[in-house]
Chain A
Amino acid sequence: LAKTTQPISMDSYEGQEVNITCSHNNIATNDYITWYQQFPSQGPRFIIQGYKTKVTNEVASLFIPADRKSSTLSLPRVSLSDTAVYYCLVGVYNNNDMRFGAGTRLTVKP
């Protein structure tokens, strides 16, 4: 099973760029890397997904080095509303090996 390791928590200030790194040393060839965001009392919400190199969308960027053993979610210019838990998942979609870890609790301060 592809296990992921993330920091338990991070603090930041409004307007800063936040980078959250996820380690996944035993990632398999067919695995994708997916990040979700979860606010209290809500279901997770998809942020971004990638396989290698760099992926960017309107809310975040995902950086994946060549060996794919880690990945970094980058949130540009965070605001208070970005305070949430961020989960890194590795696996083939909806296979039995998809796992949510404990996630990273990001707190954005004014």
Chain B
Amino acid sequence: DQQVKQNSPSLSVQEGRISILNCDYTNSMFDYFLWYKKYPAEGPTFLISISSIKDKNEDGRFTVFLNKSAKHLSLHIVPSQPGDSAVYFCAPYPPTSGTYKYIFGTGTRLKVLA
């Protein structure tokens, strides 16, 4: 029962262009959505998040869009830079944390070509 899907395992983008990473979820109870970025041999680091009361959140080159009716979110990186090459995980979060089994998508490996 995969509640979070990142259907593109990998993505290659030219430097300077836009990268769009997608994430679909099935549980309408999810209240908050986070994106983490992971470099090889390092732990994931928090990148950006969005609350379900919003449909967009922007932080510099990174913007996350949320479409609740479609249970879909996307991460846009503009312009893409070689240092953005990493694996990106989508992670939803419910309204209450007490009994939550943290869920992560399978990740999308982004490669930004110089």
Tell whether A pairs with B: no
Binding site for B on A (CB under 8 A): none
